[in-house]
Chains A and B, each alone.
Chain A
């Protein structure tokens, strides 16, 4: 069984500030982990994925995430927020051909 916990339903940052979105997972098998982004009235876009290779994963739009097995975490970061990063972000853990999602974190970016 898998589960994902995203800490904070809303995160507010200023443009240019560090973005940190937190994700903790639970999995009975070595996990595959994902971050997706959803813009209003759109589907989910894959940002990055961890599939047991490098623990630091780089994704699109300058985002990266680090897999920490000891902390069962997969936090998403971006050094400098841009207004266009405002969206909802979902962390997910994969079972065989299914995804279990966290509740999502809405990222708000102010000028």
Chain B
């Protein structure tokens, strides 16, 4: 069974631009969560989607948003990029919301210049 896939793997953007990252969960998994990883703050929870609805949100500004499609694929969007948004963005999928076991993709490395 294929794992979690994320595209693109690497991205370079300029301050003020916006970016969209994509995540395809493991086949059959219905819950998708996003995390931001930086050297200073570590791994931080962004949001969780289940059945095309955002179920949980971490402490991030409204510039960070996401959505989930009917096939469980998810996208996250960051508008008006800031230098501090440079990070590794990780997507994780799980079978159901009550499945505590999450499987991570390889991440998208975003660099904002």
Contact = CB atoms under 8 A, between A and B. Distances in A.
Interface string A77-105: 00000000000001000101111111110
Contacts of B94: 97
A97 B43 contact: no
B90 A103 contact: no
Interface of B: 4, 6, 31, 33, 35, 42-43, 45, 48, 50, 55-56, 58, 90, 92, 94, 97-98, 100-107, 109
Interface in A35-55: 36, 41-46, 49, 51
A43 B100 contact: no
In this complex, which of A51, A90, A97, A99 has the most chain B Cβ atoms within 10 angstroms of its Cβ? Answer: A97
Interface residues on A, range: 20 to 34
A49 B45 contact: no
A32 B43 contact: no
A45 B104 contact: yes
B43 A43 contact: no
**Chain A contact residues: helix, strand, loop or mixed:** strand
Contact of A100 (B45, B97, B103, B109): B45
B103 A97 contact: no
Contacts of B107: 42-43
A97 B55 contact: yes
B31 to A, nearest CB: 6
Contact of B42 (A32, A94, A104): A104
Given A51-B100, A96-B98, A97-B56, A43 B33 contact: no
Contacts of A103: 42
Given A51-B100, A98-B58, A104-B42, 4 more contacts: A34-B101, A96-B56, A97-B31, A100-B45
A108 B6 CA distance: 28
A65 B105 CA distance: 24
Given A43-B90, A43-B107, A44-B90, A98 B45 contact: yes
A48 to B, nearest CB: 11
Contact of A99 (B4, B6, B45): B45
A43 B104 CA distance: 6
A100 B94 CA distance: 16
